[in-house]
Amino acid sequence: MFGYTDYKWRRRVLVTSIISLLVVLLTTYFIISSVLSVTSEDDARVFELGRDFSGDPAAAFGLNLERVNSGNLLSYGGFEPEVLQSQFLAAEGTKNSFVIPTVSVHDSLRTSADYYEGADIRIYSQSQENYQLRVETKVKEFTAGQLQNFRQILLPPDTPTDLSFYEVAEYDKLIMLCGDNGYVLEITKEGETKLHNVGTSAKLVSIAGSASGWVAVADDGSYYLSADGQDWTQDSIEKVSFNDVITISSDGRSNFLACADKGKLYRISFSETELIPLNLDSNLNSLCRLDEKIVIAGDEGLLMSGSLELDFEIIKDMPSSIDWLSINANTEGFVCCGTKGGMAYSRDGDNFQTIDPHTLAAVYGIDPEEKQSTHKSIIWPTLANCTFLADQNVLFQAMTGQSWLSEAPGRELITSPYFDKKKVDFIASLSSGRILAVYEDSSLEMATLSDVVTFEPALDNGEVQSGDLIILEKVSFPPAYGWPGNNPEGQSIEAEPSAKGEAIPGIWYVSDGARLSLEKVAAHSPQELGQGCIKLTNDFNVDQSDQNLLLPAQGKAINSIYNSMPAWLNARVAQKLDLSRGEGLNESFYSLELYLRQVGLENNSVVVWLSGLHTDASHTVEKLGNSWEKHRFIFVLGQQSPDSEIWLNIGFAGRGALWLDQIWFGPTENEPSSLPRNLLEQLSEIKPGVVRLGFVPIGVPGLGDHSWILPEGTGARMSAFVSEEKNQTRDSVAQQGDRELHNLGAAFKMTQQIGADPWLVVDAMVSDLELLHLIEYLAGDATTDFGQLRSTHGAVGRWSDQMNRIYIEISDSTNMFTNDTSRMIYVDHVIETIQSAADYAQLEKKLVIVDGMDYDGQVLASNADYHAGSLSGSDIVRNYGEMSATLTDFLREMPTRRVLGGGSKAPEMIKSFYWQERGNNLRLADYAALIFGEAGKGINLVLIDGDKLDSPAPVKMDSALQLVGRAISDKWALPTATELFTADMTTDKLTDDLTAETVTDPGATKDLSTIQGGDGLNAESEELLLFSFIANDLRTVIMLNLGQNNISLRLGGSYPIANGSLYSFDERANLLSNSKIKSSSHIYRVLPGGMLLLVEKKLGDE
């Protein structure tokens, strides 16, 4: 019984399994059949590919890499100092001096001295024909904040004669003044004046502007809003008398802050008004904002400090006898003035120091030599207005119309040499670096804040001319920190043990009792050390130091429980590893490489160790000498998560000095002289034909000359300046947004390994000498200086011999050149300099010069081979019309020059293709439509931004696009495919404009650009895109589906494709199949958002 039951059960299981297997196989067959379209379908659309072609072939496709990470897990391991680089047009000059706009007016961290003292200067002449270096020299002397180029501002003829102005504001170089009877005066960028009225007779006492528009407030509680400064809308608040208004726009929102009598403060926007409760009765007279800080000045000694969150606190210990009437700010901080000669200064906006009014004695007609006790009975003048000029220079205006100049806080004021012809109502310093004076008779005078610089050696011939380009360059080292830098009084610093995560990763700390300084590397040092190194000193008598306490350059001291110092050591530098960039530490071997030298160390020994691990990881350098030595250590580490707190420490016992440089720590699979292996693996998967090396700085402002020869993994430059108000460490503040420096040799080695052509970017700060050195590095003999350096960087022979093609783009990332003529002249100058290099002949046949300038006009007049621009997509591409509109707009804005055979324009190159918002809804077809839509026609080459190579999805998308790019490179674009309409197609599948004769005629055709298939759609709404290319009589076809449904088609006509390889991708760039095509009747199925790539082969070829 049981045996019979078991037999029946097993038979049932067997039958069920066979049926299930058949169902799965049938389902799989139908799915594959549907995807691959291996069977013929009656409703497949039929297209005939074009045959004629002309112009240039599609050159190549690749990636644009603006930033990449190095293999160094440490930040700032090269200790390269900040380079301040600025450019200006000379207003006038002599053979040894020039006048330029004030350099520090927009810089919240640096003074004029920071820019000028010890700075190098390059002076270039610019004309319609050439751009030429006149002299390389140095700053000898400078005078900052001088007023130059005085000119009267003419009022419109309809200006009332009795009109008085009370306040001025500037936004985007547009100046607006407000005054009596509702009048607003507009001064355009070109200096033209226009008079507007807000529609009432109110007395407008203050005005402010933002990206959204303008606001003006009146003393009767009314306020007025305008988007353009011409048409105004009115609102009002009862029982309020406004005094001042400023812009407090933040996070993309436009808000204004207005103060009034009786302690009233309002936030005003274009949609609402909000009362900010202060619980005060004193009149609020003036407002001022500097970065994130806002200060309010009022009667009875009231000063309040707050942030953009409008959380204000009263500043204590201010004299209540003074009514503060005006407050102003610049890079030096805040200054305010008021009744009874009141003056006060503050660096941070929180702590103000009052100035004794006896500094007014000389300008007020009192003998300053008299005892100050005799000044107590004097009634000092009311200072109604104050404004910063440059650095610490402040102009004060008395209520009686005089203007007096203070050159530094606490110094005696002098009579202003400016605006002394008539009585002054007020003087305003504008954000554009201009000064506007409003006189008692309402006349206006404008001047420019300028610096006068003397240089040595002087010009050999002629003088500095108006329009000459001045380039300033200065290497700036940050100040030392640690004891006694951060702790000059010798007081002990106490800190509770720090919690995990409190230490800032990626910055250098120094132990309490020691000192860390950045120094210039001596001239005889190894070249790979660059310009800067650090010096750890322990030569001080510090009895109360806490050796476990770590001090940063700026900010909070750290006493990490994960990073105690061995008791037998006395000084160390330490950095917490930033493991957030990856997946933490893998179980592997890690290498530490660094350069060391010492003076005065006990036993001449140095210890390096990692803390935060569960095992000991340390090494000791014995018998370290006084000259630079390179050392390498291997650590065996276990798995560590990204939130682990792992520290690298380097220290010594006793007293002495230790110098360190080029510290590199990372997995042994990464060579310090190469880019990281994971980047190479990602690029090897993508296989780009060209890689734009935007991450290698050549002439980039703020990154210094010859930065491209510094060792790989150097890190970003260390800023010499810090904003204490923002509480940022100096190590974390760097020019160009913490941009890492990368070695050109490492970048070339990477492109060689992946088989890509390199694309270099030469920016506007490059010098002629640096260009000559660049060509020598690429193509010079190994016996030349830069040929030897190339070999040191690991190259075998000339790079020009190892590359198929080298692109050099000439660009201007900071808009140094202000018009198309100067841009064109600079490009030609760079080309001429490159062609003058001794080794240019070795490179000439492989070099492609690209003009990467952003031109205002549409005519390209430079001698570059091509122009390159940037193309962006905004959303998914739904049809041919949207693709065509995007590409047409792009090409319309690009300059053109060369005319090809048949009268067509030269193709454009795209150096950067990106999405404005890269959402998950973007499909492969959206990318491909814009990248290949004009390939071989209006666009010759496309580089896709490789900004998310750490994510699998972008890598997959880039890989699919680059596969297609390689397939069509060096091939000519064919004309638009023609759709064929055959007799077996039913009438309801044809478009309305086809006649009966077309239906019955097997040879009837329609061009794809005029009619798109059998669903009644017009060309603009067509969802199927076909791009075809040819070389050696073999065609390559790209098929894209921008719609939501499958599309079937066949390639027929007189020249069908009977043999080829077919790649099928879905919308997420998954490769569904790679199959062979053996029939000209093959039906192709393109999935929604997907792409097919068909590569024709010769008959008989596999």
Choose between 1069 and 478: higher pLDDT: 1069
550-584 pLDDT, tens per residue? 999 887 888 877 888 898 899 999 999 988 877 78
- Mean per-residue pLDDT for 274-292? 93
- Mean per-residue pLDDT for 301-329? 94
993-1026 pLDDT, tens per residue? 332 232 333 344 444 444 343 333 358 899 999 9
Q: How far apart are the C-alpha atoms of 1004 and 1009, rounded to whole Å?
A: 15
- pLDDT given at position 202: 94
Kindly state the percentage of the chain with pLDDT values over 70.
87
User: Quick check: 356 pLDDT over 60?
Assistant: yes
- Mean per-residue pLDDT for 311-316? 94
User: Quick check: 783 pLDDT over 90?
Assistant: yes
- Mean per-residue pLDDT for 269-275? 91
For residues 411 and 421, the answer to whether their CB atoms sit within 8 Å is no
Phi-psi category of residue 413: left, alpha or beta, with phi > 0 → left and psi -120 to 50 → alpha:
beta
- Mean per-residue pLDDT for 402-413? 87
- Mean per-residue pLDDT for 752-768? 96
User: Quick check: 11 pLDDT over 80?
Assistant: no
807-830 pLDDT, tens per residue? 999 999 988 888 898 999 999 999
User: Quick check: 723 pLDDT over 50?
Assistant: no
How open is the CA angle 107-110-112, to the nearest 5 degrees?
100
For residues 530 and 711, the answer to whether their CB atoms sit within 8 Å is yes
* pLDDT category of residue 1082 using cuts at 50, 70 and 90: very high
- pLDDT given at position 354: 93
For residues 66 and 454, the answer to whether their CB atoms sit within 8 Å is no
Choose between 108 and 120: higher pLDDT: 120
- Mean per-residue pLDDT for 478-487? 71
- pLDDT given at position 27: 63
Among 553, 550, 577, CA closest to 564: 550
* pLDDT category of residue 898 using cuts at 50, 70 and 90: low
27-38 pLDDT, tens per residue? 665 555 554 444
- pLDDT given at position 904: 59
Secondary structure of residue 835 in the 3-state scheme? helix
Out of 38-47, 536-545, 830-839, give the one with best mean pLDDT: 830-839
Phi, psi of 1000 (to 5 degrees): -85, -10
- Mean per-residue pLDDT for 860-886? 91
Phi, psi of 134 (to 5 degrees): -95, -40
Phi, psi of 593 (to 5 degrees): -120, 140
Tell me the pLDDT of the chain averaged across its residues: 86
- Mean per-residue pLDDT for 75-84? 91
* pLDDT category of residue 901 using cuts at 50, 70 and 90: low
User: Quick check: 718 pLDDT over 80?
Assistant: yes
916-975 pLDDT, tens per residue? 876 678 999 999 999 999 999 989 999 999 988 888 889 999 999 999 999 999 999 999
Size (the chain), residues: 1102
Beta bridge partners of 1062: 1075, 1094
Per the listing, tokens 């300099």 go with 833
Secondary structure of residue 568 in the 3-state scheme? coil
User: Quick check: 737 pLDDT over 50?
Assistant: no
600-617 pLDDT, tens per residue? 998 899 999 999 887 889
Q: How far apart are the C-alpha atoms of 576 and 586, rounded to whole Å?
A: 17
- Mean per-residue pLDDT for 397-405? 89
- pLDDT given at position 941: 95
Kindly state the percentage of the chain with pLDDT values over 90.
57
Secondary structure of residue 102 in the 3-state scheme? coil
Secondary structure of residue 1016 in the 3-state scheme? coil
- Mean per-residue pLDDT for 451-471? 94
* pLDDT category of residue 137 using cuts at 50, 70 and 90: very high
* pLDDT category of residue 667 using cuts at 50, 70 and 90: very high
- pLDDT given at position 599: 94
For residues 764 and 701, the answer to whether their CB atoms sit within 8 Å is yes
- Mean per-residue pLDDT for 510-524? 90
* pLDDT category of residue 104 using cuts at 50, 70 and 90: confident
Q: Using DSSP bridges, classify how beta strands 757-762 and 806-810 pair: parallel, antiparallel or unpaired.
A: parallel
For residues 361 and 344, the answer to whether their CB atoms sit within 8 Å is no
Which helix (DSSP H) or strand (DSSP E) does residue 195 occupy? strand 193-197
- pLDDT given at position 365: 84
For residues 684 and 63, the answer to whether their CB atoms sit within 8 Å is no
